[in-house]
Structure 1
Amino acid sequence: MAELSLSPRALYEEVAELLRQRIFNRELTPGCWIDELKLAEEYGISRTPLREALKVLATEGLVTMKVRRGAYVTEVSDSDLADVYHLLALLESDAAGVVAAKATPEQLQELQTLHNELEKAVDKRDRFFEINEAFHTRLLEIANNRWRDQMVADLRKVMKLNRHNSLLKNGRIEESLAEHGALMAALKARDAAAAAQRMREHFNNGLQAAA
């Protein structure tokens, strides 16, 4: 294995990011035991920064610590997934309402540009995922509430643990694109209530596809 080059930032933070990406890439799958000794040897570090990194991931919900059994990649139950989607719908619908009411014309154009890119990426699944996430991230940035942003970021990490991403369902990408189009129409109409409703519907439909 190629030698890893760790950045000057806190070692445990760097290790946490390495493990986070391995979890998202399914190298460490939901329910699997995390072999601390093996990982510490692989990264060329002591177990102390590794354990600190696992604590970070446990706080994010990506790892579950079990007494006398160690750390495991979190398994997301149907109930967990429903709870995550419910909270995301509340938080992001609120953000959509704020954006409809307060965004500048330039900011709305940024979202429209991302939506246009989504339309071009319908047949490119990975690219669609990337732009979709960028759209939601930019909408939250425009709404400008860092506490909401942090909660959404943590919830989305847990959502990524789901083996059956909603956008993988046949026809879901096209449905999602149409929902984004309806959201954009409400945003451009400056209709805060409609924008919030369109975002709630978007997450409700996403949950049904992911279940």
Structure 2
Amino acid sequence: MIVKTNKNKRKNLAQDAYEKIRDRIYHNEIEPGELINEISIAQELGISRTPVREALRMLASEDILEVKDGVGTYVKMLSFKNIKDIYEVRKALEVIAIKTAIYRITESEIAELEKNFMELERKYNIGALTKEEFASIDMKLHQLIFTKCENNYAKGIFEEMSLKIKQYQYISYESLNDSKESISQHLEMIRLLKNRNLKELIPFIENHIDWSLKSLMMEK
């Protein structure tokens, strides 16, 4: 019983460390190419190095980290090909997801999305918009599409890719140069969603993701 309890505790510590390290990578607090300081993280979290190592293994298995023998563990560098590949798959998945999600997203959920993006627009206009807020609201719309879709395989693949997508998006929000256009596109997407206009929404989503990729490439 004690052994099982210790295993569960270690598993929980590893999961907690995984989430904290993942969030720092997502927010670019640990940047691509940066060496992960295992000792420093363990001390900061107040835990031993064992759960930190387990957390790093989990992130490496998700292709977020890269282990270099005899050197250490690094945040994987972002390449143009990786970004392009991720967005290509994301576009295909989002088109699959919206085909069923469009009829399952409720009026109240659409109203909430619209309110959130209009608030982003207001804050942008007065110079009060932060990249953290923008990134959070942006991702909520796209996550809702997958939450409401009926294709579990699309959901699963998107979930696996979501940290990479968030990481790339956060970089694109760094200067907020394109945020006005992005907000405008999202509000149009919400309008099409509200009207259940699948015929126009599919090509609009495809064009939006292509635009997002182009914007990210220019930022990078």
Question: TM-score range, shorter-chain basis?
Answer: 0.7 to 0.9
Query: Post-superposition shift, 1:78?
Result: 0.8
Q: Which amino acid aligns with 1:112?
A: E
Alignment match, 1:4 = none
Alignment match, 2:162 = 156
Query: Post-superposition shift, 1:75?
Result: 0.8
Alignment match, 2:99 = 97
Work out the CA distance in 2 between the residues paired with 1:110 and 1:163: 22
SS at 1:68 equivalent: coil
List aligned pairs for 1:35-74, cutoff 5 A. 35-74=37-76
Alignment match, 1:81 = 83
SS at 2:19 equivalent: helix
| Change in CA separation of 1:11 and 1:118 when aligned onto 2, cut-off 3 Å | same
| Farther-moved stretch of structure 1 (163-172 vs 88-97) | 163-172
How many equivalent pairs are there? Answer: 205
- Pairing 1:184–2:190 present: yes
| Farther-moved stretch of structure 1 (155-164 vs 118-127) | 155-164
Alignment match, 1:26 = 28
Q: Which amino acid aligns with 1:55?
A: R
Root-mean-square deviation over aligned CA pairs? 2.8
**Structure 1 residue corresponding to 2:212, chosen from 187, 196, 206:** 206
| Change in CA separation of 1:170 and 1:117 when aligned onto 2, cut-off 3 Å | closer
TM-score of the superposed pair, with normalisation by structure 1? 0.81
Cα pair 1:166 1:207 within 8 Å, conserved: no
Q: Which amino acid aligns with 2:214?
A: Q
Q: Which amino acid aligns with 2:187?
A: G
Alignment match, 2:136 = 130
Work out the CA distance in 2 between the residues paired with 1:90 and 1:125: 29
Query: Post-superposition shift, 1:58?
Result: 1.4
Q: Which runs of 5+ in 2 are unaligned?
A: 1-8
Query: Post-superposition shift, 1:132?
Result: 1.5
SS at 2:77 equivalent: coil
